[in-house]
Amino acid sequence: MSGVATASIGWIDSVIALIAIDGFAVMTQAVIGVSLRTRLIPDRMLGRVTAVFRTLSTGASALGAFAGGSLAQAMGLSWPFFIGGAVAILLGPALFRWLSNSRVAAALPAGNPVSEEAA
């Protein structure tokens, strides 16, 4: 959903609804990601893992901003949205397959099973 909204921003002049859809998708992903990380990572390591995650995501954001600005300057303001959305759309199925319910269940510590609703 986020990839489609991002790619569509390049085609549409009024982008408020698309930004809202993208924001909702990113917010939902963040809540799920933090919940999953909290469940999978042992308490004694959670602070360090969260710090590494934030460092990598902040660095990736800076690189993405640089790449998007360079692309916009070279090709036009719509192209970063087209390419960023396309990358998100193409990576989505691979990430969903990599992060399947069975893989999450296998990674859970013993005595912390996945409920039937989540599987």
Where along the chain do its domains lie?
2-107
Cα dihedral 19, 32, 47, 65 sign:
negative
- Tell me the pLDDT of the chain (119 aa) as tens digits: 788 888 888 788 778 888 888 889 889 989 988 998 998 898 999 999 999 999 999 999 999 999 999 999 999 999 999 998 999 899 988 887 877 788 888 888 765 555 545 54
pTM exceeding 0.85:
no
